[in-house]
């Protein structure tokens, strides 16, 4: 929901130097993305591919539950860069968890 997105963005602005709100592709073809797949989605503005969000958003819609997502990008499909340092990824996960927790505290039920 826009309300959840707005809360996540507001919390991210407080603690992160760099983040983006951008289109993401949900696909069950994880690790099967070829150059054509990537190129097609990059042309329309997608910045990442993930597997779970579409299901979460669809179930939330059906159950009338507000949903949102915060994603951590470790593999860049365009420039082929990867982050594998556990310490760095753990730091990002901790930052994301804090943003999610603080956002959840503010949601009215």
Q: How far apart are CA 47 and CA 3, in angstroms?
A: 22
Is pTM, for the whole model, over 0.85?
no
pLDDT over 90 at 79, yes or no: no
For residue 26, what are its two tokens? 């949900």
Alpha carbon of 9 to those of 2, 18, 32, 73, 84: distances in Å? 10, 11, 30, 16, 26
Domain positions in the chain are: 2-106
Q: How far apart are CA 72 and CA 98, in angstroms?
A: 13
What is the tens place of the pLDDT at every residue in 82-102?
888 899 999 999 999 999 999
Q: How far apart are CA 44 and CA 2, in angstroms?
A: 21
The CATH number for 2-106, chosen from 3.40.190.170, 3.40.50.1580, 3.40.50.920, 2.170.120.12, is 3.40.50.1580
């Amino acid at each position: 929901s826009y309300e959840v997105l707005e809360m996540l963005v507001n919390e991210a602005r407080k603690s992160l130097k760099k983040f983006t709100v951008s289109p993401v592709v949900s696909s069950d073809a994880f690790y099967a993305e070829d150059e054509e797949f990537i190129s097609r989605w990059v042309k329309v503005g997608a910045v990442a591919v993930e597997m779970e969000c579409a299901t979460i958003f669809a179930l939330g819609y059906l159950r009338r539950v507000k949903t949102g997502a915060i994603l951590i990008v470790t593999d860049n499909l365009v420039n082929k860069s990867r982050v594998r340092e556990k310490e760095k990824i753990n730091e990002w996960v901790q930052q994301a968890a804090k943003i999610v927790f603080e956002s959840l505290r503010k949601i009215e039920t």
